[in-house]
Structure formats: structure tokens, C-alpha cells
Amino acid sequence: MIKKILIANRGEIAVRIIRACAEAGITSVAIYADADRHALHVKKADEAHNIGPESIAGYLNAHRIVNLAVATGCDALHPGYGFLSENPLLAEICQQRQIRFIGPDADVIRRMGNKVEARRAMQAAGIPVVPGSDGNLGSLEEAVALAGNIGYPVMLKATSGGGGRGIRRCNNETELRRYYDRVLSEATKAFGSADIFLEKCIDRPRHIEVQILADRHGNTVHLFERDCSIQRRHQKLIEIAPSPQINEQQRQWLGTMAVRAARAVTYENAGTVEFLLDADGSFYFMEMNTRIQVEHTITENITGIDIVREQIRIASGLPLSYAQHEISLRGYAMELRINAEDPKNDFLPSFGRITRYFAPGGPGVRTDAAIYTGYEIPPYYDSMCAKLTVWALTWPELLNRASRALQDTGVYGVRTTIPYYLELLKVPAFRAGDFDTGFVEDHPELVRYTTSRPTRELTAALAAAVSAHLGL
């Protein structure tokens, strides 16, 4: 059994994993770069170890981190998301050093991290994939010829890409010629591989993904879908489970396909199979994420299953706690990513000191945050500083509860996406459950309507000053 876990991550996901450890009676070990000396995960873990002055590289040094796990007597390592979570090297080193890696096998991570290989594996398993190139593109001329066959618009994608980067829509041949080299160099710079491929651009796509869990004993289950269509620049902002845009028959089909996808690659642990749904109602496999996902909280809300706990159980060699027929969904859940960004200034990151913070409360509200009053958000990392997850029995109640919980949240000192979400929640199409991945771009007015929180404080201060001046 696992007794002590090193968490090779930071921020809210490190805190999330520490909480799972605490509930299971497992000792948690945090790591932190100098810039994270005052981070919440350092305070919450049972032990915390400094990994030096390099703010990002420190969290990417697989050898050093596993050494630390061995030296501190850990028997397992949780990679979280981002950083090394999808780097097969970490899983491999863990195996060599007899540290249980809480995730799938290194080979599966490697295969699914390569989008071209993942597409091939899914095609072989009879799962529909987005029409596109069979392998990596050899040249611009090959891309032009292929796009001519598939039909524009097409997507150029980095084969090893992630985090919404290395993706470019090309509406015609001129754009394909213009962007080819750009995507190539972006792929090389961001992912260390110049491999790129081409896909048909799905019309009015909805991003629908399925959470799966698989153990070592041949049990694979799905935990229904999440609708992640509310995105900005291919990055998720709001996620919803179950999707208000699909019916029960589609739900069953998707679950079956996701389980089939996992089985096809002999998957173990928690994973996500991402699909695109087009305007005609067809689903296409897009990619598989071999790690815990940011938005796992909404699935936990509708199913009642603690996914991180299951991850740890699976890595311990235990069978899944639930058979498929024991898993059901109840109500609706929505996660809103509270990013330290200024919506009015093109979502520019807004790092700095959190002068005041109140977590929201009340029925159906969950916060996963990495901030506290007085905390200074370092400028080196992701701008997501908290996640708000809201649950309600019905979709209309969920909408009202999400607005209420956002208004109930207090994050001062930095700009956040909260006021933007308050506007978004008012849009009739969103309320009607009708939105695709173009929603944010199609609603530029939301940014104009957005009033920022500091303004509210300023207004109060101005009102007080005016009152004083008038002798009121």
C-alpha cells in the first residue's frame, strides 16, 4: 500500500492531491522552487522540500525530483497536470527507482502524447477520428495537396502539442502557406519536436471529453462527459458536466467509445478521451490526455467519485471501487477557471499581491484555490489561481448558483476573469445550452460590458469622498 506520496507539481492541483492524501492517511511531500516559498501547497503538505532557484526548470527536472522522492522515503509520485505529467521520462525513472508513478505506463504516455500515433491507434480500434493526414507532414507542398483533398478550412497542429498551443486554423491555401513555417517553429520551440500534421477543421465544434478510469485488473469504466466548448484561444475557461448539448443515446455511445479507446491502448489509471462534435451531430476522436485534468472536479460533483483517490488506489494495485453499473450521474456541474488576467486588456496576466481573498460558500459550491490573503502570485507560472466548481440539480439552477457563487467570491489586488464570467452567464445562447468553441470569439461585447472588481471598490471610495465633500 502507498504510504507517502511526492507531489511533483505546484498550485491548486498540488493542494488537491495533498487533500486526497490527508483523507487517505497518506503522508504528502511537496516540492517548491524559491519563487514558491510562500505557496499554499508548501504550507498544506506534511513535508516540503526546496528544489532551488529555477522557478520553472526546477519542476521539470525529473531525475532530481525522483531522487528526492527516494531520499524522503516516498513510495509513490503524483505528477498532477502540466509540467512533467505527460513526460514519459518521469514515469520511466519512477519505475527504475521503484517509485509508483500515479498514472499510466511510460509507453502509453509516449504513444498518446504523439497525436499522430494516437489517431492511428484509435482508427485501428474503429473509433472515428477527425479526417486528416495519416502521419506527419513532410513538406509544405504535401500539406497543400492534402488540404486540397480534405477541403478548407484545415487545422495545422503540433504532433506533440498541448495546452492549446501549436494549433492554427487555415482558411485557404494562402493562409496554409503563410502559417506552415510558423506552426513548425512554434512546435519546435514549445514542444521540442518539429513534427506537425493536418486535420479538417470541424464546423461549429463542441469539445466533448470523457473521463475514464482503468485498473490493472482489466476493469475500465467511464464517468460520463464534460463539455469544454467555452474556450479562448483553444484554452478551456468553463467546463460543464454533463453536456447540455447531447442526448442520452449520444452519451451512452461516447462512454462506450471512450472505454474502447482506453482498452485499445491497455490504459491504466485516470485518463480523458477528447472528442469534437460537429454541427451534424458526428463525433470525432481528437486526442487522449494521460493525466488528471484541471476540470476533473465537475465529474466528481456529478458522480460523487473522488478521482484522485481512485488514481492512488489504482497505482497501489487495487481494483476500481466501482463497476460501470454502479456509476450514475446526478444534476449538473460547472467549473469556472479563475485566472489572474484582465479581461478588459486582452486577458493579459495580472500577477501581484492578493490583498484580500474570500472563498465562496453555500450549497453546491467548491473552491480549489492556490491563493490566500497576502499571497503574492509569482509571475512565472500559469495565471489560473483558483477554480470554482458549482453543482445544482438542474441546469437553470446551476446557472443561478454559478452567478451567485462568483459574486460571493472575493479576489482583490489582481484582475480576474470573474467579472467576465458574470457577463457570460447572462448570454441567452449560453443559458439555453447552445454554444460551440467559437462562443468567446463570437461575443466580443462581453469584454466591453465587463466591469472590473477594483472599479467597484473605487466607486465605493469615490461615493464616500463625494458624500464627505457634500457634508452628507
Catalytic residues, by residue number, are: 291
Q: How far is the CB of 429 from Mg ion (least distance, A)?
A: 23
- Give the x/- contact pattern for ligand ADP in 347-386, rule: CB under 6 A: -----------------------------------x----
Query: For ligand ADP, which is the closer residue by CB, 2 or 104?
Result: 104
Please give the residues from 374 up to 433 whose contact with Mg ion meets the rule CB under 5 A.
none
Contacts of 8 (CB under 8 A, 6+ apart): 31, 59, 65, 77, 78, 79, 80, 83, 84, 90
Q: How far is the CB of 379 from ligand ADP (least distance, A)?
A: 15
Cell numbers for 289, please give them. 490526455
The answer to the question of residue 205 lying near ligand ADP (CB under 6 A) is: yes
Please give the residues from 267 up to 286 whose contact with ligand ADP meets the rule CB under 6 A.
274, 276, 286
As a 3-state breakdown, the chain gives helix, strand, coil percent values, each rounded to 5, of 40, 25, 35
Residue whose C-alpha is closest to residue 406's, from 392, 385, 427, 420? 420
Please give the residues from 247 up to 276 whose contact with Mg ion meets the rule CB under 5 A.
274
- In the DSSP assignment, the letter for residue 202 is P
The answer to the question of residue 293 lying near ligand ADP (CB under 6 A) is: yes
Q: Rounded CA gap, 172 and 148, in Å?
A: 9
Q: Rounded CA gap, 215 and 319, in Å?
A: 6
Q: How far is the CB of 118 from Mg ion (least distance, A)?
A: 11
130 binds, among ligand ADP, Mg ion, none (CB under 5 to 8 A by kind): ligand ADP
Report in angstroms the alpha-carbon separations of 394 from 226, 245, 246: 16, 14, 15
Query: For ligand ADP, which is the closer residue by CB, 48 or 84?
Result: 84
Please give the residues from 206 up to 265 whose contact with ligand ADP meets the rule CB under 6 A.
207, 231, 234-236
Q: Rounded CA gap, 312 and 69, in Å?
A: 16
Q: Report whether the peptide linkage leading into residue 153 is cis, meaning its omega lies within 30 degrees of zero.
A: yes
Q: How far is the CB of 169 from Mg ion (least distance, A)?
A: 15
The contact set with Mg ion (CB under 5 A) reads 274
The contact set with ligand ADP (CB under 6 A) reads 81-82, 86, 130, 155, 161-164, 167, 199, 201-202, 205, 207, 231, 234-236, 274, 276, 286-287, 289, 293-295, 382, 437
